[in-house]
Amino acid sequence: MYVAFSWLKEFVDLDCDINEFVEKMTMSGTKVETVKKIGDKIDSIITGKILEIKNHPNADKLVVTKVDIGEKILQIVTAAKNIFVGAIVPVAVHNSTLADGTKIKKSKLRGELSEGMFCSIEELGFNKSQYPESPDSGIYIFNDNVEIGQDVRPILELTEDVIDFEITSNRPDCLSILGIAREAAATFNKQLKYPVCENLSIGTNNFDIEIKDNNLCKRYMAQEIEDIKIEPSPQWMRHRLISCGINPINNIVDITNYVMLETGQPLHAFDAENISQNKIIVRTSKNESITTLDDTIRNLDNEMLVICDPEKILAIAGVMGGQSSKINSNTKKILIESANFDAYNIRCTSKKLKLRTDSSMRYEKCIDPNLAEFAMARVIYLIKKLNCGKPSSQTLDIYPVKKMPRQIKLNPEKINQLLGTNISEQEMVQILNKIELKTQNNLIEIPTFRNDIENDADIAEEVLRFYGYDKINSTLPATNIIGKKNKSQIINDKIKEIMIAQGGYEIKSFSFESPKVFEKCLMENQDAVKISNPLGEEFSIMRTNTINSMMQALSLNFNKKNDEAILFELGKVYEKNNNDLPSEHQILTIGAYEKIDFFNIKGVIEKLFSKLKINNYDFKIGQEKFLHPYRQTKIFIGENEIGFLGEVHPKVTKNYDIKSKVCIATINLKHVYENTIFIKKFKPLAKFPAVYRDICVIADKDISAKNLSDTIYKCSTDILEDVKLFDVYEGKQIEDGKKSLAYKLIFRSNSKTLTEDEINSVMKKIIEQLENKFGATLRI
């Protein structure tokens, strides 16, 4: 809500400067977003008098002028046609700025020096409706009595401080100068001065008004005005409208807008001669259409509230009027509407039509029906004062259920208890009275414009706003609770720690993605949770897996030529759950490209499990379509499949524009949470020395290393402490179809020092077993 500071001062005698005003209003709850001057966009544009106009030696359409700007005389080349010797014009001098941000510099135009530019009203940031005296096209010309060499802004009345207030949705009363003035008066302990109004005479007129649904239209006031003289409104009114962001149109429309800004009550003026049969019907639309004032055809559905005559729709109630009854230069008789429409209906209409106006944004916040009368009285006063018409009848007022003030008990003890303060009842009453909440014997009368006040807590806030939020003490709540994270949160933290220690960089990605990712990742389409009103197709389903997110992050880094690294994400996937809320599963995703391969990531996962003391994990051959068919594995904890690891299929990497091998793994953390062991027990350190033996065997290529090592383990359960594979080799010196595997075996007894014989006998058994089971031979 924009408000010109001077306008506000008409309602309250403020003697503070703008900075103090902004600070105190913000602290009492009417937050100021910004303060700007309406002419802030233009800079260094001054008045100058044209002394001489000569033809340009090299250009037919240009002239060379001499301009007096007070301190010196400039030469300016221009194509403008409406200038003349003696004209006082806006001159954009060297290094000046136009409204659209253009910087004006000295330059040569067809060989002639030009030290600036003359400006049209548009170049100053305005238009002819705001400055009706400006020419249809060409340079703006000032009155002869304007002094030269002056900043144009004060002359065009552009130096006003305009304050932008942030009005919260519970305070529609503050979408008006009056409402803000009421807050300002209470903040600065001043008296609020109401604007002058006409005394209304409620009764009948020539019009018949029918309201079909009193819930959608709670009040409808109408006033006929005749002898209308349409002309531009006075400059002071136009400037106020401009400063509040409203374009001046003509005196009648401007007055309705002016009063809307003052009071917060939207008003509309119909050309009364275009209302058939002098009858107004307020009803919902029947899938009709209307051409609105902005020259757009609007198709209306059967819920939208409209103002009609027996033949046609005149206006979309509370949103915008129609062309058919628009005020034009020939209008002689008007009907002023001051009504109260249902907030929700107006909001839905405005939303459906994507048409938000100064009127609809007020109605949709639920304004006070009692305001309609005040606004009507003010409009009639201004119409008479500006001499643009004459009320020709009484004011019609259809108001079946009058809204009455509510009463709430003042409960000072409860208020102090909630706030942690010690404010006296007397002080509370004083504060409440300042904002027109009258009190009598412990009862507070809530004015009808304060719909938001319902209970003790609401009263507490009103008291506190003017008592001062800054006066509350700082204390800490007395509770004896221990702060903590739960087990899965602690494990999440631990996982991140382990991943980082292994060179992992944490990423974060969106929870939603495109349904196209399934195809992109060679996956079957999955029944994902769909968003019914997504920002676009690319964000329309909740992700069912994290492959696409990781591939995108890898692709970005690959294509930015960042060094290879391990990326990981701890994030959710979402699973449909019939009619219940979807399930949210926490997933660890790991990905890398280039030299970081399958076994690097496998190592990372093994280390992760080992650090979490999870021993019952296993890797089994996998068959995901989006992975390399022979370089992938399923990951198990106990009997539960918890994820996969593999080299991504080259078709998929190509879809993500990655020209490198990519390795990816995902782990559903549910089973990790369940199997992580926190309690660790000390195992005594071995007392007897270990004996190391290396063994190198040649076996068929397709025999898995795990089968071999499992067999070795089984040969001795008591003294073989560990088996470590340290080399796998295929190639020269090894027969085709075979591979060589080298193991380091660690023997140790926990009761004695082992003898050669004991170890040799186990070694013999191992070699026999490998030979018998796998046909493996010792490599010599």
Partner 1 sequence: MKELDDLKNIALSLIENVKNMDELSQIKIKLLGKKSELTSLMKSLKDIPAQERPQFGEKINSLQKMIEDKLNDTKEKIYDAEQNLKFKSEAIDITLPGISNDIGNLHPLSIVLNDIEKIFTSMGYEVVPAHDIETTYYNFDALNISQTHPARDEQDTFYINSEQVLVTATSPMQIRVMEKNKPPIKIISPGRVYRTDEIDATHLPMFHQIEGLVVNKNITMSDLKGTLNVFAHELIGENIQTRFRPHYFPFTEPSAEMDVTCFVCSGSGCKTCKHTGFIELLGCGMVHPKVLKNAGIDPDEYSGFAFGMGLERIAMQRFGIEDIRLFYENDLRFINQF
Which residues 525-544 are close enough to bind partner 1 by CB under 8 A? 529-535, 539, 542
Contacting partner 1 within 698-737 (CB under 8 A): none
Residue 129 contacts partner 1 per CB under 8 A:
no
The residue (of 76 and 361) whose beta carbon lies closer to partner 1 is 361
Measured from the CB of residue 391, what is the shortest distance to partner 1 in angstroms? 36
Residue 458 contacts partner 1 per CB under 8 A:
yes
- The 3-state secondary structure of 423-451, one letter per residue: CCHHHHHHHHHHCCCEEECCEEEECCCCC
Q: Determine which residue in the list 363, 449, 574, 598 makes contact with partner 1, applying CB under 8 A.
A: 574
Cβ atoms of 567 and 521 closer than 8 Å: no
The two three-digit tokens of residue 774, written as one number: 């796998």
**Of 431-439, 561-569, 609-617, 710-718, which segment contacts partner 1 by CB under 8 A?**
561-569
DSSP string, 276-313: GGGEEEEEE--S-EEEBTTS-EEE--TTSEEEE-SSSE
The residue (of 381 and 539) whose beta carbon lies closer to partner 1 is 539
Q: How far apart are CA 668 and CA 589, in angstroms?
A: 9
Contacting partner 1 within 388-417 (CB under 8 A): 417
Measured from the CB of residue 187, what is the shortest distance to partner 1 in angstroms? 11
Residue 508 contacts partner 1 per CB under 8 A:
yes
The residue (of 471 and 659) whose beta carbon lies closer to partner 1 is 471
Q: Provide CB contacts within 8 A for 318, sequence distance 6+.
A: 266, 305, 339, 341, 346, 349, 359, 360, 363
Q: Determine which residue in the list 111, 154, 420, 603 makes contact with partner 1, applying CB under 8 A.
A: 420
Residue 775 contacts partner 1 per CB under 8 A:
no
Q: Determine which residue in the list 170, 247, 284, 526 makes contact with partner 1, applying CB under 8 A.
A: 170
β-bridge partners, 280: 209
The residue (of 507 and 637) whose beta carbon lies closer to partner 1 is 507
Angle (deg, nearest 10), helices 251-263 and 371-385: 140
Q: Determine which residue in the list 38, 121, 305, 343 makes contact with partner 1, applying CB under 8 A.
A: 343
Contacting partner 1 within 258-287 (CB under 8 A): none
CA distances for 344 relative to 216, 337, 341, 520, angstroms: 9, 20, 9, 44
Measured from the CB of residue 506, what is the shortest distance to partner 1 in angstroms? 4
Size of the site for partner 1 (CB under 8 A): 89
Residue 482 contacts partner 1 per CB under 8 A:
yes
Nearest to 755 by CA among 680, 674, 691: 691
Nearest to 328 by CA among 222, 451, 230, 204: 230
Per-residue b/e over 669-699, b at no fewer than 16 CB within 10 Å?
Answer: bebbbebbeeeeeeeeeeeeeebeeebebbb
β-bridge partners, 394: none
The two three-digit tokens of residue 721, written as one number: 């402490």
The residue (of 513 and 624) whose beta carbon lies closer to partner 1 is 513
Q: Determine which residue in the list 293, 379, 410, 507 makes contact with partner 1, applying CB under 8 A.
A: 507
Q: Determine which residue in the list 486, 578, 733, 751 makes contact with partner 1, applying CB under 8 A.
A: 486
Cβ atoms of 298 and 306 closer than 8 Å: no
Contacting partner 1 within 10-49 (CB under 8 A): 26-29, 31, 33-34
The residue (of 454 and 768) whose beta carbon lies closer to partner 1 is 454
Nearest to 305 by CA among 296, 316, 321, 313: 316
The residue (of 97 and 416) whose beta carbon lies closer to partner 1 is 416
Measured from the CB of residue 510, what is the shortest distance to partner 1 in angstroms? 6
Cβ atoms of 662 and 648 closer than 8 Å: yes
Query: Between the CA atoms of 72, 78, 80 and 84, what dihedral angle is there, to the nearest 10 degrees?
Result: 40
The residue (of 567 and 637) whose beta carbon lies closer to partner 1 is 567
Q: Determine which residue in the list 109, 148, 418, 522 makes contact with partner 1, applying CB under 8 A.
A: 418
Measured from the CB of residue 402, what is the shortest distance to partner 1 in angstroms? 22
Query: How does DSSP classify residue 530?
Result: B
Q: Determine which residue in the list 11, 67, 153, 171 makes contact with partner 1, applying CB under 8 A.
A: 171
Residue 215 contacts partner 1 per CB under 8 A:
no
Q: How far apart are CA 361 and CA 350, in angstroms?
A: 9
Residue 484 contacts partner 1 per CB under 8 A:
yes
The residue (of 28 and 130) whose beta carbon lies closer to partner 1 is 28
Query: How does DSSP classify residue 355?
Result: -
Residue 560 contacts partner 1 per CB under 8 A:
yes
Residue 107 contacts partner 1 per CB under 8 A:
no
Residue 455 contacts partner 1 per CB under 8 A:
yes
Q: End-to-end CA distance of the chain, in Å?
A: 90
Measured from the CB of residue 463, what is the shortest distance to partner 1 in angstroms? 9
Q: Determine which residue in the list 79, 113, 401, 472 makes contact with partner 1, applying CB under 8 A.
A: 472
Residue 302 contacts partner 1 per CB under 8 A:
no
Nearest to 241 by CA among 258, 228, 262: 258
Measured from the CB of residue 238, what is the shortest distance to partner 1 in angstroms? 29
The residue (of 178 and 460) whose beta carbon lies closer to partner 1 is 460
Cβ atoms of 588 and 568 closer than 8 Å: yes
Q: Please classify residue 415 by burial: count the beta carbons closer than 10 Å to its beta carbon, then call 0-12 exposed, 13-18 middle and 19+ buried.
A: buried
Measured from the CB of residue 602, what is the shortest distance to partner 1 in angstroms? 17
- Encoded one letter per residue, x for contact with partner 1 by CB under 8 A and - for no contact, window 356-375 reads --------xx----------
The residue (of 223 and 540) whose beta carbon lies closer to partner 1 is 540
Measured from the CB of residue 457, what is the shortest distance to partner 1 in angstroms? 4
